[in-house]
């Protein structure tokens, strides 16, 4: 059974860079049928898609976050990563990684989520 697990610091200072890793197990990250995505949920708020990447490093981004986001994948380590630079308190959220269907961009498997707070 596919499992995704987010990891990274739970606290980031304003203006610094938020970095998270999603480790994939129980399935192959080298899948031509899937993308791998980051989605966040601010406290008490809804869901916001951030970015997606394929195993061949094809990427696409939420236009509202694109200037601050880097997404990468390391198929040898079965993980993909998110970097969000110049963070502010508005970036405080639970960050989920998820598997995205290649031919139809819905998300069929999710990690448990990682809470990242932006505070000095």
Closest distance between another protein and the C-beta of residue 111, in Å? 6
Residues at the site binding another protein, with contacts judged by CB under 8 A: 46-49, 60, 62-63, 96, 101, 104-113
Closest distance between another protein and the C-beta of residue 77, in Å? 22
Measured from the CB atom, the residue of 16 and 109 that comes closer to another protein is 109
Closest distance between another protein and the C-beta of residue 78, in Å? 19
Closest distance between another protein and the C-beta of residue 66, in Å? 10
Measured from the CB atom, the residue of 1 and 76 that comes closer to another protein is 1
**What is the edge-to-edge ordering of all strands in the sheet holding 69-74?**
3-7, 18-25, 79-84, 69-74
Between CA 30 and CA 50 the distance in angstroms is 21
The DSSP code for 91 is G
Is residue 85 packed enough to be buried (19+ CB in 10 Å), middle (13-18) or exposed (0-12)?
middle
Give 44's Cβ-side CA count (13 Å radius).
Answer: 1
Measured from the CB atom, the residue of 55 and 61 that comes closer to another protein is 61
Measured from the CB atom, the residue of 15 and 33 that comes closer to another protein is 33
């Amino acid at each position: 059974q596919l499992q995704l697990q987010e990891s990274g610091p739970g606290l980031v200072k304003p203006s610094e860079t938020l970095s998270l890793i999603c480790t994939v197990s129980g399935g192959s990250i080298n899948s031509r049928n899937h993308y791998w995505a980051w989605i966040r949920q601010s406290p008490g708020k809804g869901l916001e898609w951030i970015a997606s990447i394929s195993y061949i490093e094809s990427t696409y981004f939420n236009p509202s976050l694109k200037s601050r986001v880097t997404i990468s994948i390391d198929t040898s380590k079965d993980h993909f990563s998110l970097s969000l630079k110049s963070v502010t308190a508005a970036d405080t959220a639970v960050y989920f990684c998820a598997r995205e269907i290649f031919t139809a961009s819905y998300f069929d498997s999710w990690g448990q989520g990682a809470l990242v707070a932006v505070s000095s």
